[in-house]
């Protein structure tokens, strides 16, 4: 059974609730805290991105192409489509001898409203470079060039690059490859289903300082939080506020994951109805209950922790509030 994680109020009454699941594990996969069902089958969506990016380092591609830390970070991001991110994608493509025509992620407006408005005002259309999965796809193309694999249909589940990625996900999450469920993500590539506790396990492993490949990727990510989401996004703002204490990564459909770097823990969250409005207060409240954030840091993230509902007259008429207590599991 799921637990009530969020109450949505209007006036003094509860208008809606959001139920879900939270699990916190250590690097061995032991459950430390949980709410709901730790075996809930979650589709990783963009929570998979750092796992999908890891082969760039483990195969030697990062060294072959002399990728910078910012370029490594953008490969794990769900991007706003802001200019600095687009320019970083272009730099990677230039290093591997390709251009945006090689990207098969599709086209949508930049997620960053100001960037989308500027494009429209200038009479320019968005391109695959503005796709929020452009970094992930560029990493896949880099692996193809590095291994001299075909660029045609690199998004197919049968392509060697996707087979390499699913093996990496299987290893990091400690789920046998034959038990990793496969779907198709919004950008056309395979995406993975596995138990929530195993997503948390993979994010606990991302805290490793002894594995040099993982440590290199995470140093790049934590040094460039702007490449993981962008301005006015919770992932980037958590990482900016907390320094290098937390790697925070959104998925989709109410999925979220975090690596608690100093503790060596992984956190996985799923809002059962898939409504992303519940993620922000749940994520900050979880960090608070786990004693990860200070009061000063919490204040910086106040708008995420305690979002309000406003009507069309800009009047505050309700709130979206976390309503849960994490349960410590006996060892």
HEC string for 234-284: HHHHHHHHHCCCEEEEECCCCEEEEEECCCCEEEEEEECCCCHHHHHHHHH
Cβ neighbours of 330 (radius 10 Å): 5
User: How many angstroms separate the CA atoms of 241 and 218, rounded?
Assistant: 17
HEC string for 54-103: CHHHHCCHHHHCCCCHHHHHHCCCCCCCCHHHHHHHHHHHHHCCCCHHHC
- Interval 69-84 mean pLDDT: 98
Smallest CA-to-CA distance from 86 within 65, 66, 103 is with 103
User: How many angstroms separate the CA atoms of 321 and 297, rounded?
Assistant: 18
Q: Render pLDDT for 293-326 as a digit per residue (tens, 0 to 9).
A: 999 999 999 999 999 999 999 999 999 999 999 9
Q: Render pLDDT for 222-235 as a digit per residue (tens, 0 to 9).
A: 999 999 999 999 99
Instruction: Tell me: pLDDT of 329 over 90.
Output: no
Is pTM, for the whole model, over 0.75?
Answer: yes
Please give the full DSSP string across 191-212, using - where no structure is assigned. Answer: EEEEEHHHHHHHHHHTT-SSSH
User: How many angstroms separate the CA atoms of 27 and 139, rounded?
Assistant: 26
- 283's tokens: 């994520």
Burial class (CB in 10 A: 0-12, 13-18, 19+), 283: buried
The contacts of residue 83 (CB under 8 Å, 6+ apart) are 115
The structural domains of the chain, with segments of one domain joined by +, span 3-328
What CATH code would you report for 3-328? 3.40.710
Instruction: Report residue 331's pLDDT band, with 50, 70 and 90 as the boundaries.
Output: low
Burial class (CB in 10 A: 0-12, 13-18, 19+), 174: middle
Q: Render pLDDT for 142-155 as a digit per residue (tens, 0 to 9).
A: 999 999 999 999 99
Q: Render pLDDT for 122-170 as a digit per residue (tens, 0 to 9).
A: 999 999 999 999 999 999 999 999 999 999 999 999 999 999 999 999 9
Burial 48-82 (b: 16+ CB within 10 A, else e): bbbbbbbbbbbbebbeebebbbbbbbbbbbbbbbb
Give me the chain's average pLDDT, please: 97
């Amino acid at each position: 059974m799921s637990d009530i994680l969020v109450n949505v109020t209007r006036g003094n009454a509860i208008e809606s609730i959001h139920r879900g699941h939270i699990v916190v594990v250590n690097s061995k996969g032991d459950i430390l805290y949980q709410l709901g069902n730790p075996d809930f089958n979650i589709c990783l969506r963009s929570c998979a991105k750092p796992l999908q990016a890891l082969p760039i380092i483990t195969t030697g591609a990062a060294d072959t192409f002399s990728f910078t830390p910012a370029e490594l970070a953008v490969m794990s991001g769900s991007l706003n489509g802001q200019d600095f991110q687009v320019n970083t994608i272009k730099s990677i493509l230039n290093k591997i001898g390709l251009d945006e025509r090689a990207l098969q992620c599709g086209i949508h407006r930049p997620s960053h409203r100001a960037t989308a408005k500027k494009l429209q005002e200038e009479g320019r259309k968005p391109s695959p470079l503005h796709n929020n999965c452009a970094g992930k796809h560029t990493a896949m193309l880099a692996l193809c060039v590095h291994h001299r694999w075909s660029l045609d249909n690199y998004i197919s589940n049968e392509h060697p690059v996707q087979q390499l990625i699913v093996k990496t996900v299987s290893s990091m999450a400690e789920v046998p490859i034959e038990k990793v469920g496969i779907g198709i993500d919004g950008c056309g590539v395979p995406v993975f289903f596995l138990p929530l506790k195993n997503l948390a396990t993979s994010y606990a492993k991302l805290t490793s300082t002894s594995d040099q490949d993982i440590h290199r990727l995470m140093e790049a990510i934590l040094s460039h939080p702007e490449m993981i989401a962008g301005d006015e996004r919770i992932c980037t703002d958590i990482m900016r506020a907390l320094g290098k204490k937390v790697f925070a990564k959104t998925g989709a459909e109410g999925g979220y994951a975090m690596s608690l770097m100093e503790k060596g823990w992984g956190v996985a969250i799923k809002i059962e109805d898939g409504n992303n409005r519940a993620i922000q207060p749940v994520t900050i409240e979880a960090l608070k209950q786990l004693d990860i954030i200070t009061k000063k840091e919490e204040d910086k993230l106040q708008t995420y922790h305690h979002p309000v509902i406003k009507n069309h007259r800009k009047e505050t008429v309700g709130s979206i509030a976390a309503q849960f207590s994490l349960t410590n599991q006996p060892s």
